Amino acid sequence: MSTEQCDNPLHADYYADDSVHYTAEVIENEEVAQDTWRIRFRCPAMASKCKPGQFIMLKITDRDDPLIGRPLAVFDITVDQQGVPTDLDAVYLVKGNLTTRLVELPAGQELDVWGPLGNGFLPQQTRHLIMVAGGIGQTPFVTLAREYLGLTNYGRDCPQAEEVTLCYGARNESLLAGVDTFQSVEGLNLRLCTDDGSRGHHGLVTEVLEQVLVADKEAYGSNNGVRVVCCGPEPMMEAVAGVSQRWNVSCQVSLETPMACGIGICFTCVTKVLQSDGTWDYKRTCVEGPVFDASKIVWH
């Protein structure tokens, strides 16, 4: 994409030109934490295109309720014995119309899925990547961790980080989902916390982030080369953005704004983003995000 095209948010390259639609077979669908399920479905052409931080839209085939799809982050990508991507995993919190029905879908049933969508996390030179997740916000970070640790190549070059840390917080231990998957990522520094102290640090994920930043500064003399990426409830992302600003480290947030079309048409998903002249404008989270520079977000 040329620079001119990049500056024009209405250019067709911002739409879902690289996406594919699948009626995909469900391979597995199982509960992995309290009210939280992991679903795997077969979609090789889509799986081979997905980059860390992108999302998919999902709808149950032949069901009209909900009529429109719902966005879920790509949690993991499964490969066959030859290393060719075959399946995608999403991890979802049971919440409303789609997700309460999704739990009833056994292996062998079909799902309508389209994607990959959104900008995802771009590869950037980073010494220490600190991923901060709250609630169900851990879902974009398995693939990102693997990419920055040099364990998986998602069809693009990514400079390897010296250190990758995940700070992951939930209300209590039973809500922490996918911990075993994160533990299986070789070299990942995993820091858990819970509001009630049932697992990991007893307190907020922002406190864990500050502990990691302190340790990083002690080890390297400064926080140069640190990059924070964050996903979770909006107040938590705003707090993480504030901590990052105080510590003078760059921060990107992956927003979970409600969406209707997912492909740039309906403007349901807009968020206020600061412009270079100091004013703000609405940006569509589905095509100009979901990943944004945290310092540019107008939170209220």
Site residues, ligand FAD (CB under 6 A): 55, 66, 70-73, 90-93, 95-99, 136, 139, 256-259, 290
Closest approach of Cβ 289 to ligand FAD, in Å? 8
Query: 16 or 249, CB closer to ligand FAD?
Result: 16
Residue 266 found at the interface with ligand FES (CB under 6 A) = yes
Of 76-84, 186-194, 228-236, 256-264, which part binds ligand FES (CB under 6 A)? Answer: 256-264
Residue 72 found at the interface with ligand FES (CB under 6 A) = no
Helices H / strands E in the chain, number of each: 7, 16
Query: 44 or 178, CB closer to ligand FAD?
Result: 178
Q: Which residue in the block uniquely carries the two structure tokens 């052409």?
A: 45
- What residue 146 binds from ligand FAD, ligand FES, none (CB within 5 to 8 A, per partner kind)? none
Closest approach of Cβ 4 to ligand FAD, in Å? 27
| Cβ pair 76, 142 in contact under 8 A | yes
Region for residue 5 given its phi and psi (left: phi exceeds 0; alpha: psi -120 to 50; beta: otherwise): alpha
CA dist., res. 191 & res. 117, Å (int): 29
Residue 12 found at the interface with ligand FES (CB under 6 A) = no
- What residue 69 binds from ligand FES, ligand FAD, none (CB within 5 to 8 A, per partner kind)? none
CA dist., res. 283 & res. 215, Å (int): 36
Residue with CB nearest ligand FAD? 96
- What residue 267 binds from ligand FES, ligand FAD, none (CB within 5 to 8 A, per partner kind)? ligand FES
Percentage helix, strand, coil for the chain under 3-state DSSP, each rounded to 5: 20, 35, 45
Closest approach of Cβ 115 to ligand FAD, in Å? 10
| Cβ pair 221, 274 in contact under 8 A | no
Q: Classify residue 17 by burial, with Cβ atoms within 10 Å: 0-12, 13-18, 19+.
A: exposed
CB atoms inside a 10 Å sphere around CB 139: 28
- What residue 151 binds from ligand FAD, ligand FES, none (CB within 5 to 8 A, per partner kind)? none
